[in-house]
């Protein structure tokens, strides 16, 4: 499955006793296999929204249900396990572990899940081949280009076999060529593995590829467009 149902979601930051409403009442349903872009200007609440969906931040009000489980009700330890086994993350700055090779970076997530060494190495190699850098599995992030690092990051996000992948401005640090290659790769993964992808982005190229574009402004959804 992998249905995300968000109801009446609010996030209010109490900054210096002047409340800031970052997310101000969002209702949304994202179905399994969607390829969705969350767009909006800086400060619109995209990242806060994504953080709450990813269980990294706690809503002030409202609930996020994933396959019927309200992740806001999960105790911290269970929430960590939930993230590990159900959500893949792709970050703007790749955020790979610099002392590990590409293969180790991907395998690491599976180790956290308790998979055996041979199994995780095999899956890591396969994933890196799928994302097109099978010949660079022994390189460390510092020896890879930005585009290649982000591919490793996508492979890492897929490694845990998540219900959905959250990508926060994944193309912001990439050139056009790398961006297009990465988007094609994610679309391929989306189609082949039926993995749900949710992006936050400003990037028109991402919006062009997305099949659903949700615009957020001042913490509320101002448009929700489904492409054919």
Partner 1 sequence: MIWSIAWRNVWRNKLRSLVIMIAVTIGLSGGIIYYAFAKGLMEQRIEAAISNEISNIQIHNPDYLLNEELKFIIKDPENIIHKINKVEGVKAVSSRIKAMGMASTAETGTGVMLNGIDAANEKQVTKISEQLTDGKYLEEKGRIPIVIGQKLAKKLNTKLRSKIVITAANTEGVITYGAFKVVGIYDTENDMFDELNVFVRKNDLARMLGANTSDVNEIAVTLDTHEQTNHVLTILNDEFSKNISQKEILIRPWNKIVPSLNAMIEMMDFLSYIFMVIILIALAFGIVNTMLMVVMERIKELGMLKAVGMNNKRLFRMIMLETIFLSIIGGLFGLFISYVTIQYYGHYGMSLAAFQEGYNALGFSSIVYLEAETSFYIFTTVLVIITAILASIYPAQKALKLNPATAIRENN
Question: Interface residues with partner 1 (CB under 8 A)?
Answer: 47, 51, 54, 56-57, 77, 80-81, 83-85, 89, 91, 93, 95, 97-100, 104, 107-109, 111-113, 156, 160
Nearer to partner 1 (CB atom), residue 35 or residue 94: 94
To partner 1, the closest distance from the beta carbon of 227 in angstroms equals 30
For the chain, how many residues are written? 228
To partner 1, the closest distance from the beta carbon of 30 in angstroms equals 20
Cβ contact 153:127 at 8 Å:
no
**For residue 174, what are the CA distances in angstroms to 122, 141, 181?**
28, 15, 10
Nearer to partner 1 (CB atom), residue 140 or residue 211: 140
Nearer to partner 1 (CB atom), residue 9 or residue 213: 9
**For residue 208, what are the CA distances in angstroms to 44, 66, 91, 179, 193?**
20, 27, 20, 12, 21
Cα end-to-end span (Å), the chain: 22
Structure tokens at 167: 């990508």
Burial class (CB in 10 A: 0-12, 13-18, 19+), 119: exposed
To partner 1, the closest distance from the beta carbon of 51 in angstroms equals 4
To partner 1, the closest distance from the beta carbon of 127 in angstroms equals 15
Nearer to partner 1 (CB atom), residue 174 or residue 213: 174
Nearer to partner 1 (CB atom), residue 99 or residue 225: 99
Dihedral angle over CA of 75, 4, 184, 188, nearest 10: 100
Chain-centroid distance of CA 216 in Å reads 17
To partner 1, the closest distance from the beta carbon of 90 in angstroms equals 10
């Amino acid at each position: 499955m992998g249905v995300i149902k968000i109801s009446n979601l609010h996030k209010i930051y109490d900054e210096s006793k002047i409340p800031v409403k970052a997310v101000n009442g969002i209702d949304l349903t994202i179905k399994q296999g969607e390829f969705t872009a969350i767009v909006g200007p800086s400060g619109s609440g995209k990242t806060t929204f994504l953080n709450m969906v990813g269980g990294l931040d706690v809503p002030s009000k409202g609930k996020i249900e994933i396959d019927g489980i309200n992740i806001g009700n999960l105790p911290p330890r269970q929430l960590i396990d939930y993230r590990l086994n159900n959500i893949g993350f792709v970050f703007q700055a790749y955020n790979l572990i610099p002392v590990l090779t590409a293969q180790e970076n991907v395998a690491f997530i599976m180790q956290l899940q308790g998979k055996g060494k041979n199994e995780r190495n095999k899956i890591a190699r396969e994933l890196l081949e799928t994302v097109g850098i099978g010949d660079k599995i022994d390189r460390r992030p510092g020896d890879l280009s930005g585009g290649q690092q982000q591919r490793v990051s996508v492979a890492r996000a897929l490694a845990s076999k998540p219900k959905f992948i959250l990508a926060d401005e994944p193309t912001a640090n990439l050139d056009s060529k790398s961006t297009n290659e990465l988007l094609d790769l994610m679309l391929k993964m989306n189609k082949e593995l039926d993995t749900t992808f949710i992006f936050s982005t400003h990037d028109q190229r991402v919006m062009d590829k997305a099949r659903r574009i949700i615009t957020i402004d001042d913490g509320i959804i101002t448009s929700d467009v489904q492409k054919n």
